[in-house]
Amino acid sequence: MFYKRDVISILDFTKNDLMELFNEAEKLVEHKGRRLNILNGKILATAFFEPSTRTRLSFATAMLRLGGHVIDLSSPEISSLAKGENIADTIRMLDAYSDIIVIRHKVEGTARFAAEIAEVPVINAGDGTRHHPTQAMLDLFTIYRHQGQIDGLTVGVLGDLRYGRAATSFIYGLSIFRPKKLFLIAPEILRVRDEVKSVLEERGIQYEELSKVDQVIEELDVLYVTRIQKERFTDPTEYERVRGSYRVDKNMLKDAKENLIILHPLPRVDELGYDVDGTVHAKYFVQAYYGVPVRMALLKLILVG
Ligand code: NCD
């Protein structure tokens, strides 16, 4: 059930919820490019206090394709935040002007705070290092669509598991299903946080932590690659130590399963070679496209049921 709900963490949703979303999104994939009138007259407000390309634009595209409208707070430098307005007052205004708010902020918990203030539903489009639930929804949808299921798969998550909210939400999202095994692959200082491991343990998900992807590449059905979150490091020398410490390229994939799919939330920096793009494994651009039908499905289910 999504009707009138906030979307703060993927952990707030059940497998049934996600299957409902995927079924709705599946229908909308077929509608590619056609405008529907499901959300005629409704207004979506976007408030992004951190950079974004795909998330902001795919939410806007989703709303417009459903017949709705979009208002954007714009960068904090040109809104009244620059005059010292606090975020709570800004949220109150967006609440008064729109039917649904999509927010991204570097401070953890901002989306939940916004949801407490706003009467209209609030969607978390990323809060610091913690949650990015709609990214996880489209990631899981991509797997479901290309592998036919999520249960029973062996999944590798590679990269910055310490600071990456996309990786964190993806791991949480997988825990809602029954994957066979997760390989959490990261350099020592970017290992997954304890609170994430606790969730996997509570939910009985088998996982193993390791440093190198080549040790397990042959076993994987899905490999989720993420960039090092440079902007989250407090110590630049720490970043320099791990920079360039892992990279997936075509050569590494020669022993991979034929049906291995490689996902990446994007943007990529240097962790995923351009020579992978032409392989049968590369699914990250179609994954980014699914951001539109999945967010269309989500907006529809939240606003009209
Ligand atoms: C991610 C994010 O902002 O968390 N990007 C996205 O939304 N697709 C991942 C990242 O920035 O590395």
Distances 178 to 6, 57, 105, 139, 205 between C-alpha atoms, Å: 25, 32, 31, 16, 7
Thinking of the domain 133-288, which architecture would CATH place it in? Answer: 3-Layer(aba) Sandwich (3.40)
Instruction: Kindly list the strands in the beta sheet with 122-127, ordered across the sheet, starting from the edge strand earlier in the chain.
Output: 69-72, 43-48, 100-105, 122-127
C-alpha 266 – ligand 1 centre gap (Å): 6
Q: What pLDDT is attached to residue 194? A: 98
Distance CA 177, CA 151 (A): 6
Distance CA 127, CA 55 (A): 13
- Mean model confidence pLDDT for the chain: 95
Query: What is the CATH topology of the domain spanning 10-132+290-303?
Result: Rossmann fold (3.40.50)
Looking at residue 267, its amino acid is P
C-alpha 181 – ligand 1 centre gap (Å): 24
Q: Where in the chain is the domain with CATH 3.40.50.1370?
A: 10-132+290-303, 133-288
Q: What pLDDT is attached to residue 30? A: 80
C-alpha 57 – ligand 1 centre gap (Å): 13
Q: How many CA atoms lie within 13 A of 83 on its CB side?
A: 6
Q: What pLDDT is attached to residue 248? A: 98
CA nearest ligand 1 atom 7, residue: 55
C-alpha 191 – ligand 1 centre gap (Å): 18
Give the model confidence (pLDDT) of 186-199 as tens digits.
Answer: 999 999 999 999 99
Q: What pLDDT is attached to residue 213? A: 96
Residues enclosing ligand 1, CB less than 6 A? 54-55, 126, 132, 135, 165-166, 226-227, 265-266
Structure tokens at 144: 């479901």
Flag residues of the chain having pLDDT under 70: none
DSSP assignment string, 186-215: --GGGPPPHHHHHHHHHTT--EEEES-GGG
Q: What pLDDT is attached to residue 78? A: 72
